Amino acid sequence: MIRFGIAGFGLHAVRRLMPGFALARNCTVVALSRRDADKAREAAARFAIPHVFASTEELCRCPEVDAVLVTTPNACHLRDVLTTVAAGKPVLCEKPMGMNADECRQMVEAARHAGVLLGVAQVFRFEESTARFRARVAAGDIGRPIFARAEFSYPGSGHPRTWLYNRAIAGGGPVADVGVHCIDALRYILQDEPRVVSALARSDERSGDVEAAASVSLEFERGTLATVLVSTRAQYRTPLEIVGDAGVLRADDALNVEQPVTLELWRDGKRVAEETVSNQIAYARQVDSFAGALESGETFPASGEDGWQNQIILDAAYRSMTSGNSQKVSSVRDARQ
């Protein structure tokens, strides 16, 4: 049984992580850290978490903690991951892993030097819908993928995480917040890497100094053209569609974790197959997978290198928004050589 400490225990921990841990089979939460002492004690009492700390540093010194899940605001990830790694403890870091690719590089290199596992919490890799998309594409059910489309929008006005509208803390708007989920899901499903990215974005009077909506276009190495649409103004939706030369695989709200997802396979304008799956245990599968990697050496599907590669793509997208030009995407493999 792997004992986790959650650094930066806030809304995400309450809404998603703790329900996930409640369903997990081989890990549990024994500690949390939060700067607000009253809220920290309140959360510990609510979830029966025995150890409460005011900082990541203190949490990492707790001998009862086997691994740390970093859920602090994005600007704190580098410091908290390096602190955890320095303490010799494995760390699972929320997405986006850093504020820029250089921060991610520092995390990956520090973890490698210390010999500890670093993962990024790209939870869509643990969804059943994503697994089925990946398997069907790999099996050739739609032939060669030509187009791909992933969307993630939600009404973000009045969101309690107000730092999401501050670039200095969040690193960006919905491209960084949920676009990274879409980009990573496409990388995982297609088993391919983007090499060119272009992006357009729009801000408004409520979005602070980050974008409120954006369109990101990706050209993958094997030729698939993909579009990622994100917004904190549109209604909640997460559709996903892969169009091949022999068929189409699609699902409405494919990436949600609350409602059943129906995948449809279309050929020649007719629906020829469908299946309904559930993503409700995705968060449990994520932490159980990390625990399994620690206990038996299993490969964790969302490595620190994946977090770094995602950030390289995000950086290129933001450069494109500023310059108005397409940007080449470098590879973590090249950076490590």
User: What pLDDT was estimated at residue 161?
Assistant: 72
Angle at 312 between CA 184 and CA 72, to 5 degrees: 75
Asked if 154 and 100 sit in the same domain, the reply is no
Please tell me what DSSP assigns to residue 175. Answer: I
User: What pLDDT was estimated at residue 207?
Assistant: 78
Distance CA 168, CA 36 (A): 21
The CATH number of residue 100's host domain is 3.40.50.720
Task: Quote the domain boundaries for residue 268.
Answer: 125-279+312-336
Distance CA 109, CA 90 (A): 14
Asked if 139 and 266 sit in the same domain, the reply is yes
User: What pLDDT was estimated at residue 205?
Assistant: 82
Site of tokens 């803390």: 169
Least trusted range by pLDDT, from 80-94, 163-177, 178-192: 163-177
Asked if 161 and 226 sit in the same domain, the reply is yes
Asked if 80 and 184 sit in the same domain, the reply is no
Q: What is the mean pLDDT of residues 28-32?
A: 98
Distance CA 74, CA 111 (A): 18
Asked if 188 and 114 sit in the same domain, the reply is no
Least trusted range by pLDDT, from 204-208, 222-226, 255-259, 304-308: 204-208
The set of residues, in sequence order, having a beta carbon less than 8 Å from that of 244 and lying 6+ positions away, is 137, 141, 142, 143, 144, 145, 146
Residue 249: pLDDT band (50, 70, 90) is very high
Asked if 56 and 142 sit in the same domain, the reply is no
- Here the tokens at position 97 are 């892993």
Site of tokens 């024994």: 30
Distance CA 14, CA 42 (A): 12
Q: 217 — phi, psi (to 5°)?
A: -105, 135
User: What pLDDT was estimated at residue 163?
Assistant: 75
Asked if 256 and 299 sit in the same domain, the reply is no
Asked if 114 and 229 sit in the same domain, the reply is no
pLDDT digits (tens, 9 = 90+) for 99-135: 999 999 999 999 999 999 999 999 999 999 999 999 9
Mean of per-residue pLDDT scores for the chain: 96
Residue 156: pLDDT above 90? Answer: no
Least trusted range by pLDDT, from 78-87, 115-124, 164-173, 260-269: 164-173
Q: Which three-class secondary structure string do you get for 93-149?
A: EECCCCCCHHHHHHHHHHHHHHCCCEEEECHHHHCHHHHHHHHHHHCCCCCCEEEEE
User: What pLDDT was estimated at residue 109?
Assistant: 98
Asked if 255 and 140 sit in the same domain, the reply is yes
Asked if 154 and 111 sit in the same domain, the reply is no
User: What pLDDT was estimated at residue 169?
Assistant: 94
Residue 46: pLDDT band (50, 70, 90) is very high
Q: Percentage of residues in the chain with pLDDT exceeding 70?
A: 98
Asked if 248 and 291 sit in the same domain, the reply is no
Asked if 154 and 7 sit in the same domain, the reply is no
Which of 70, 177, 164 lies closest to 120, judged by CA?
70
Residue 276: pLDDT above 80? Answer: yes
* Domains held by the chain: number: 2
Residue 66: pLDDT band (50, 70, 90) is very high
Which of 225, 197, 198, 202 lies closest to 214, judged by CA?
202
User: What pLDDT was estimated at residue 337?
Assistant: 55
pLDDT digits (tens, 9 = 90+) for 158-176: 767 777 888 999 999 999 9
Distance CA 203, CA 20 (A): 34
User: What pLDDT was estimated at residue 335?
Assistant: 67
